[in-house]
Amino acid sequence: MCQTLHIHFGYFTNEVSGHPARFLKSSGLFLFILSFLILYPGQFIAANTPGAGALCPPVSVNSVTAPALGFHVLTKGSVTLRNGDIEGPVASWGNLNLNGTISVATGNPGTFVVSGDGRPTALIVEGVVNFNSGNGINLLNNSYIKLKDLTGSVVYTNFGGSPVPTRVTPNAYEDYPRISSSTFQQSSSVGPVDVFNFTGAFNTFQTDAGVLGGYANTVNIVNQGAGKIRLNLQNNTVNVWNVAAATLIGYTEISFNQAPSLSAPLLINVNGTGNVNWTLPTFPGVSDLQGPFMLWNFYNNTGTVTLNGGNTIPGTILAPNTTLIKAGSGNIAGQIIVNNYDHVAGELHYYPFESDLASEDVDCGCGNTLFTNGGFETHLNSLTFPINFEGNPAQDLTNSNQNYITEWKAAIGSPRMYYIKDEVNRVNNPEGNYFVWLPAVNDCYASSDNIGTMLNLEHGVEYVLCFYAAPWSKNLDANGYTASVTATQKDGGIQKKFKTRNGDTI
| Count helices and strands in the chain by DSSP H and E runs | 4, 38
pLDDT class for 481, splitting at 50, 70, 90? confident
Select the more confidently predicted residue: 183 or 498: 183
Q: What is the mean pLDDT of residues 183-211?
A: 93
Q: What is the mean pLDDT of residues 49-73?
A: 62
Select the more confidently predicted residue: 369 or 374: 374
Poorest-pLDDT segment among 124-128, 204-208, 318-322: 204-208
The string of pLDDT tens digits covering residues 92-147 is 999 999 999 999 999 999 999 999 999 999 999 999 999 999 999 999 999 999 99
The string of pLDDT tens digits covering residues 259-285 is 999 889 999 999 999 999 999 999 999
* Nearest C-alpha neighbor of 62 from the set 229, 267, 231: 267
Q: Residue 444: its pLDDT value, please?
A: 79
Q: DSSP string spanning 199-253?
A: HHHHHHHHHHHHHHHTSPP--EEEEEETTEEEEE--SSS-EEEEEEHHHHTT-SE
* Nearest C-alpha neighbor of 5 from the set 26, 30, 25, 23: 23
Arithmetic mean of pLDDT over the chain? 80
Poorest-pLDDT segment among 228-242, 322-336, 397-411: 397-411
Select the more confidently predicted residue: 406 or 415: 415
Amino acid at 13: T
Could you give the CA distance from residue 146 to residue 37 in angstroms, rounded to a whole number?
59
Q: Residue 370: its pLDDT value, please?
A: 56
Q: Residue 34: its pLDDT value, please?
A: 46
Say if residue 18 is exposed, middle or buried (CB neighbours under 10 Å; 0-12, 13-18, 19+). exposed
Q: Residue 408: its pLDDT value, please?
A: 79
pLDDT class for 251, splitting at 50, 70, 90? very high
Buried b (16+ CB within 10 A) or exposed e, 101-132: bbbbbbbbbbebeeeeeebbbbbbbbbbbbbe
Could you give the CA distance from residue 56 to residue 366 in angstroms, rounded to a whole number?
7
Q: Do residues 190 and 145 touch, judged by C-beta distance below 8 A?
A: yes
Select the more confidently predicted residue: 358 or 68: 68
Q: Residue 144: its pLDDT value, please?
A: 98
pLDDT at 363 over 80: no
Q: Residue 477: its pLDDT value, please?
A: 79
Q: Residue 496: its pLDDT value, please?
A: 66
Amino acid at 202: F
Rg (CA), the chain: 27
pLDDT class for 85, splitting at 50, 70, 90? very high
How do 178-181 and 162-169 pair as beta strands? antiparallel
Could you give the CA distance from residue 10 to residue 346 in angstroms, rounded to a whole number?
55
Q: Residue 100: its pLDDT value, please?
A: 97
Q: Residue 12: its pLDDT value, please?
A: 28
The share of the chain scoring above pLDDT 90, in percent, equals 53
Which residues, 6 or more positions from 503, have their beta carbon under 8 angstroms from its beta carbon? none
